[in-house]
Amino acid sequence: MKRPWIRSFSLLVCLILAGCGATATPTTLPITSTIDANAGAASGTVTLWFHSGQGAERDALNATLQAFAAKNSAIKIEAIELPEGAYNDQVNAAALAGELPCLLDFDGPFVYNYAWSGYLQPLDSLIAAEVKADFLPSIIQQGTYNGKLYSLGQFDSGLGFYANKALLEKAGVRIPTLAQPWTRAELDQALSKLKANGLQYPLELKMNYGRGEWFSYGFSPFLQSFGGDLIDRSNYQKASGTLNGAASVEAMQWFQSLFTNGYVNPKPAGDTDFAEGKAALSWVGHWAYPDYAKALGADLLVLPAADLGKGAKTGMGSWNWGITSKCANPAAAAEVLSFIVSPEEVLRMSDANGAVPARTSAIAKSTLFGDGAPLNIYVQQLTNGVAVPRPITPAYPVITSAFAEAVDNIVAGADVQTELDKAAQKIDADIEDNQGYPVK
Amino acid sequence: MQRPAIEPTKRWQKSPRRFGSYLLMTIIALFSLFPIVFMLVTALKADEGQILREMSTFAAFLPTGELSLQNFRDVFERVPFAQYLINSGLIALTIVLFGLVVNSLIAYALARMQFRGQKLLLAIIVALIIIPFQAVAVPLLLIVNQLPWFDGRMTWLDSYHVQIIPFIADAFSIFLFYQFFLNIPKDIEEAALVDGASRFRMYAQIIVPLSRPVFATVAILQFLTHWGDFLWPLMVVRNPAVRPLTVGMQAFFGQMPRQWGDIMAFATMVTLPVLIIFLLFQKWFVQSVASSGVKG
């Protein structure tokens, strides 16, 4: 009797089982680079994960890994690029399964949660003191948790105002300096003058980025400049009283007024209002510089953060690298990490993505960030205490999501005190659930 | 005597309610189609600035400005799209094929065979339908991470089979098959039994040919579900060689500003195979959904 479907199905089963067996062997694709190198103290294989950032960033990292291969043959790198949009989730899932690689990169403020969770090992004994001394203080600050250094980055970020010189001059607005930044009154007045001069929305706050890390990174400096903060930094145990305290409420009321006064478009259609001359000011990070420089040319000004009452404050922090606690070969991983953060490679990356080089020796050689260079102001903000790290606590993921939600609602017109109360409660509940994140 | 033909205009006049309902249906249809039109049109627009400018205007739905396939080329340059496509297709199809056999056999046993604990088993399977996958994802991850495979590895992570095997047996599919099998008269099987046919032969030669609509329903529903799987592959797959489309797409959701043209080109290429399958099996789909009482 004919049973062709049974035969076909059996064949299919065999084929699929064969297929599944075959895939268990690691496959090398163009973006999974396996690198053999020539000489070095440590040896062995180092597994490495990195996020797929901008194309130029990815190319720079691949070039770095190839340069490492050319210099060191004893260490083999197995690199896997993960999609950036899902990077943190994939890292968390891998950590849960105990399958983290030796070396990986992650966004700045996640380091505290990873370190507290025991995913990372301290780098203090693996990185030479003179190497550490060459890094920007902000990078060391970002990577330090509970007195130990857990991560090092190739670059930091810069945040400030970009301004259209012609439009400021036309409205008679003073050009601020790092020594004399705008005061709150001056900034309000400038916005009012610019609006009176015919600009529908004189300030751009990149609201098109949407709710996410940008809201915390970009807008928490306003809180801090008013004297408020996301959490009480004396012991990182409570947000109530700080995030919903008088200074923070005043800051967010001022922030809300930017929208109610019509200075900022809450729902911009695109990313180009400033570049097209529809806005005179843009509050955004270093990454906007290439497009703005192209669009405005000599009219582009890079200005410091304003002093809204308690000193000018700005953000800092970016992607950085850490070695995982389960890494079987930390010496080899440290050698790879040292190479990745060497001045030449830092400069290679900074040239590719336009971010602030993490090392002073690299900054000196940078055409964008060196003395007198157009973006040197970011270096000064990072070294002169204007830049504030995001809260150094494992609760950061909850802090950032609660604050971003509050910002979203405040922009939509919700009551500031109610929203900040809600956010503070959410953060406090998380800290309480984790018994205050005791240091293990 | 010949009945005078009713002119369309008169028909409308006769039932203005019909005109109203057609209008309403047209509006609802357009509303459902708009996102797809937006996706297709945006994928063809070469100028990222234009896409952003038109984002919240009606022009976003119109193929204006410079149109090209550049966004599609960008997708192929930025990610190994073909590899992801093969992975997604292989995973979804394998789940469907194995699922049809396994689930229909379980359902057949439940519908026709008498054994101890049959009712309890059925109750458990029905209860399983209401448990969302998210609730079991983490325990499942911990289990598959400890399972051995034929090649000697002591984990299933980073493989095709980790994305396939946990989804072959599916409570909802079993329930659909079970419902359908109950309605097939037992007489034919009893006749076959008298002729000495085995249980499996009855299943293969009587039940399966009579149950095409439910096979089609389960196949289509399972394919659509697993074509769009995101959470599970996100948790268990790191190696790009076995990464499906949904996770691969996340490469476009990183740093600002987002390249919406590329994202929409990617989305278009993910949606097209599903659209084609739907159009090919449209008759089956509508028939089977109607017959099984499944609501989308």
Asked if A86 lies within 8 A of B250 by C-beta distance, the reply is yes
Rounded CA separation B52/B127 (Å): 47
- Choice among A34-38, A89-93, B35-39 with the minimum mean pLDDT: A34-38
Question: What's the pLDDT tens digit per position in B178-222?
Answer: 999 998 888 888 888 888 889 899 999 999 999 988 898 899 889
Indicate whether A5 pLDDT > 90. no
B222 within 8 A of B170, measured Cβ to Cβ: yes
Asked if B159 lies within 8 A of A23 by C-beta distance, the reply is yes
Per-residue model confidence (pLDDT) at position B4: 54
pLDDT digit string (tens) for chain B, length 296 residues: 455 555 555 555 667 888 889 999 999 998 889 999 999 999 999 887 788 777 777 888 888 888 889 999 989 988 899 999 999 999 999 999 999 999 999 999 999 988 999 999 999 999 999 999 989 999 999 999 999 999 988 899 999 999 999 999 999 999 999 999 998 888 888 888 888 889 899 999 999 999 988 898 899 889 989 999 999 999 999 989 999 999 999 888 876 667 889 999 999 999 988 888 888 877 777 766 665 554 44
Indicate whether A33 pLDDT > 50. no
- ipTM comes to 0.72
B241 touches chain A (CB under 8 A): yes
Asked if B250 lies within 8 A of A83 by C-beta distance, the reply is yes
Asked if A271 lies within 8 A of B52 by C-beta distance, the reply is yes
Per-residue model confidence (pLDDT) at position A17: 43
Q: Which residues in chain A have Cβ-Cβ distances shorter than 8 Å to B158? A: 24, 26
Q: Which residues in chain A have Cβ-Cβ distances shorter than 8 Å to B83? A: 29
Choose the closest CB to B141 out of A30, A96, A206: A96
Q: How confident is the model at residue A180 (pLDDT cuts 50, 70, 90)?
A: very high
Choose the closest CB to B239 out of A9, A80, A93: A80
Q: Which of residues 100-129 of B touch A (CB under 8 A)?
A: 101
B93 touches chain A (CB under 8 A): no
Per-residue model confidence (pLDDT) at position B216: 87
B238 touches chain A (CB under 8 A): yes
Phi, psi of A82, rounded to the nearest 5 degrees: -105, 145
DSSP string, B161-210: HHHHGGGTS-HHHHHHHHHHHHTS-SHHHHHHHHTT--HHHHIIIIIHHH
Number of A to B CB contacts under 8 A, please give it.
Answer: 135
Asked if A83 lies within 8 A of B236 by C-beta distance, the reply is no
Nearest alpha-carbon partner for A202 in A281, A273, A272: A281
Minimum distance, in Å, between the CA of residue B222 and any CA atom of chain A: 18
Across the range A342-357, mean pLDDT stands at 92
Per-residue model confidence (pLDDT) at position A25: 32
Minimum distance, in Å, between the CA of residue A73 and any CA atom of chain B: 24
B251 touches chain A (CB under 8 A): yes
Q: Which alpha helices (H) appear in A266-365, and where do they start and end? A: 289-296, 330-340, 343-353, 360-365
Residue A356 β-bridge partners: A156
A208 touches chain B (CB under 8 A): yes
DSSP string, A213-255: HHHHHHHHHHHHHTT--SS-TTTS---TTTTTSHHHHHHHHHH
Percent of chain A having pLDDT more than 90? 71
Per-residue model confidence (pLDDT) at position A189: 96
Q: Which residues in chain B have Cβ-Cβ distances shorter than 8 Å to A82? A: 238
**Helix (H/G/I), strand (E/B), else coil: A302:** strand
Indicate whether A156 pLDDT > 70. yes
Tell me the domain boundaries of chain B: 8-68, 80-292
Q: Which residues in chain B have Cβ-Cβ distances shorter than 8 Å to A83? A: 247-254
A90 touches chain B (CB under 8 A): yes
Question: What's the pLDDT tens digit per position in A187-243?
Answer: 999 999 999 999 999 999 999 888 888 999 999 999 999 999 999 999 999 999 999
* Residue A79: closest C-alpha in chain B: B239
Q: Which residues in chain B have Cβ-Cβ distances shorter than 8 Å to A11? A: none
Q: Which long-range contacts (CB under 8 A, 24 or more apart) does A293-296 make?
A: A293/A374, A296/A164
Minimum distance, in Å, between the CA of residue B16 and any CA atom of chain A: 40
Q: Per CATH, the architecture of B80-292 is what?
A: Orthogonal Bundle (1.10)
Asked if A209 lies within 8 A of B256 by C-beta distance, the reply is yes
Rounded CA separation B34/B57 (Å): 13
A6 touches chain B (CB under 8 A): yes
Question: What's the pLDDT tens digit per position in A230-269?
Answer: 999 999 999 999 999 999 999 999 999 999 999 999 988 7
Indicate whether A1 pLDDT > 80. no
Q: Which residues in chain B have Cβ-Cβ distances shorter than 8 Å to A31? A: 80, 240
Q: Which residues in chain B have Cβ-Cβ distances shorter than 8 Å to A271? A: 52, 256-257
Per-residue model confidence (pLDDT) at position B296: 40
Residue A51 β-bridge partners: A82
Whether a cis peptide bond, with omega within 30° of 0, leads into B257 is yes
Residue A380 CA, chain-centre distance (Å), reads 18
Minimum distance, in Å, between the CA of residue A78 and any CA atom of chain B: 11
Question: What's the pLDDT tens digit per position in A299-337?
Answer: 999 999 999 999 999 999 889 999 999 999 999 999 999
Q: How far apart are the first and last CA of chain B?
A: 47
Q: How confident is the model at residue A3 (pLDDT cuts 50, 70, 90)?
A: very low
Q: Structural domains in chain A?
A: 34-157+317-383 (3.40.190.10), 159-313+395-433 (3.40.190.10)
Q: How far apart are the first and last CA of chain A?
A: 70
Per-residue model confidence (pLDDT) at position A31: 35
